[in-house]
């Protein structure tokens, strides 16, 4: 099965170069052709009224992670408001690359007008993207992994997640110390950028040392095991940065088991509800929330504009914020309009 997937990806990468030869490989964090989420209306005008006959599909990494369920809720909010058909499907787990590809290919075969995709890796949905391009079906790459030939991407600046956490450590530990990173899935753009942002910012300060940087493949259990080993090797460790909240919560358990809760700070990424609850209980030190419901709404907005014929920037940037116990209550509001205003004020 893996051999088949690799052959399919290789074929798609070759043929996609024909369809998108004019596009440089996408680096979503640094792509200059970009628009901030707050500027869509001012730059492109009001969103056109969508046709009720539209069929839009969402292809997620997995529904076992709250982040991806919340992203789907954002998509659905727009579809419900405007009255068109929306289907949201996901692979069985975050390692089921072929299953995710099959979902995307099925939605294309069923005549969906657009696909909002969050690939498991930078390459596994390339075959489906190639077919969609050839059929004139709009595709928006939404967060996490980044397809190099994607014409449109919606998501936050992944590197900034790590930068924000590193800046917190620099501010709160003026004498520096030893820190560790729990990485996501190897080969995924978001994981690499989050790690890079943290590592580079910490290194530039000169007072910190990254003593370990271990992939845990987005798994809470693997993160617990990795953190437990690191804590045994480096008993003076002052902090962890994990590439997502599920892994960060596994690290919190390891830190507590080692009796290091007062000594070792732990940060995650994503802003899931379990992370907020842990922060409020004084366990998880913080997270970088990328507001998946809002991101889903913005991504669907972009999709509808593309289908209506608007020429949208290659990247539309969505918001993020460092969350600690100081601001967790404010940012955990369920009032979507209040959250939008709060984030807009930060610009």
Task: Give 104-171 as a DSSP string.
Answer: HHHHHHTT-SEEEE--SSSSTTHHHHHHHHHTT-EEEEESSS--TT-S-EEE--HHHHHHHHHHHHHH
Instruction: Quickly count: other Cβ atoms within 10 Å of residue 168's Cβ.
Output: 19
Structure tokens at 159: 């590197």
Contact 56, 84 (CB under 8 A): yes
What's the pLDDT at 169?
Answer: 98
What's the pLDDT at 64?
Answer: 92
The CA–CA distances, whole Å, from 168 to 140, 174, 233 equal: 33, 10, 24
Report percent pLDDT > 70 for the chain. Answer: 94
**Residue 10's pLDDT band (cuts 50, 70, 90):** very low
Contact 265, 290 (CB under 8 A): no
What's the pLDDT at 337?
Answer: 87
Phi/psi zone of residue 223: left (φ > 0), alpha (ψ -120 to 50 degrees), beta?
alpha
* Cα-based torsion angle of the residue sequence 272, 278, 280, 285 in order, rounded to the nearest 10 degrees: -90
Q: What is the pLDDT of residues 182-216, one digit of tens each?
A: 999 998 999 999 999 999 999 999 999 999 999 99
* Cα-based torsion angle of the residue sequence 244, 246, 248, 252 in order, rounded to the nearest 10 degrees: 170
Residue 320 has pLDDT above 50, yes or no: yes
CATH superfamily, with its number, for domain 25-156+292-318: Response regulator (3.40.50.2300)
What's the pLDDT at 347?
Answer: 64
What's the pLDDT at 23?
Answer: 86
What is d(CA 145, CA 82) in angstroms, rounded to the nearest whole number? 29
Residue 136 has pLDDT above 90, yes or no: yes
Domains 25-156+292-318 and 158-289 share a fold: yes
**Residue 336's pLDDT band (cuts 50, 70, 90):** confident
Nearest to 85 by CA among 120, 112, 122, 104: 112
Contact 74, 294 (CB under 8 A): yes
Strands 153-155 and 138-142 turn out to be parallel
**Residue 144's pLDDT band (cuts 50, 70, 90):** confident
The mean pLDDT value of the chain amounts to 93
What's the pLDDT at 8?
Answer: 44
**Residue 20's pLDDT band (cuts 50, 70, 90):** very low
The CA–CA distances, whole Å, from 138 to 171, 179, 200, 264, 308 equal: 44, 43, 36, 46, 10
Residue 290 has pLDDT above 50, yes or no: yes
Residue 2 has pLDDT above 70, yes or no: no
Length of the chain: 347
Q: What is the pLDDT of residues 264-278, one digit of tens each?
A: 999 999 999 999 999
What's the pLDDT at 6?
Answer: 46
Burial of 53 (0-12, 13-18, 19+ CB in 10 A): exposed
Q: What is the pLDDT of residues 37-66, one digit of tens each?
A: 999 999 999 988 999 999 999 999 999 999
CATH fold, domain 158-289, is Rossmann fold (3.40.50)
Ranges of each domain in the chain: 25-156+292-318, 158-289
Q: What is the pLDDT of residues 110-131, one digit of tens each?
A: 999 999 999 999 999 999 999 9
């Amino acid at each position: 099965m893996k051999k088949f997937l690799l052959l399919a990806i290789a074929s798609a990468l070759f043929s996609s170069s024909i369809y998108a030869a004019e596009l440089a490989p996408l680096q979503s964090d640094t792509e200059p052709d970009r628009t901030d989420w707050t500027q869509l209306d001012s730059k492109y005008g009001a969103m056109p009224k969508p046709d009720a006959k539209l069929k839009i599909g969402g292809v997620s990494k997995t529904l076992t992670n709250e982040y991806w369920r919340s992203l789907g809720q954002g998509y659905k909010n727009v579809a419900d408001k405007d009255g068109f058909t929306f289907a949201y499907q996901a692979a069985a787990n975050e390692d089921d690359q072929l299953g995710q590809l099959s979902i995307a290919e099925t939605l294309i075969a069923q005549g969906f007008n657009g696909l909002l995709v969050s690939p498991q890796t930078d390459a596994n949905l390339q075959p489906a993207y190639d077919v969609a391009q050839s059929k004139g079906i709009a595709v928006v790459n939404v967060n996490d992994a980044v397809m190099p030939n994607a014409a449109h991407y919606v998501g936050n600046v992944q590197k900034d997640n790590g930068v924000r956490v590193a800046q917190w450590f620099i501010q709160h530990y003026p004498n520096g110390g030893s820190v560790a990173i729990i990485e996501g899935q190897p080969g995924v753009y978001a994981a690499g950028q989050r790690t890079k942002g943290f590592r580079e910012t910490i290194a530039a300060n000169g007072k910190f040392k990254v003593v370990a940087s271990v992939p845990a493949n987005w798994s809470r259990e693997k993160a617990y095991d990795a953190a437990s080993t690191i804590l045994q090797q480096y008993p003076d460790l002052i902090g962890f940065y994990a590439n997502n909240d599920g892994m960060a919560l596994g690290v919190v358990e390891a830190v507590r088991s080692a009796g290091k809760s007062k000594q070792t700070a732990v940060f995650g990424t994503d802003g899931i509800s379990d992370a907020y609850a842990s922060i409020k209980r004084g366990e998880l030190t913080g997270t970088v929330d990328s507001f998946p419901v809002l991101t889903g709404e913005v991504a669907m907005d972009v999709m509808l504009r593309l289908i209506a014929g608007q020429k949208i920037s290659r990247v539309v940037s969505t918001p993020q914020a460092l969350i600690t116990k100081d601001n967790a209550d404010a940012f955990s509001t369920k009032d979507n309009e209040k959250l939008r205003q709060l984030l807009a004020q930060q610009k």
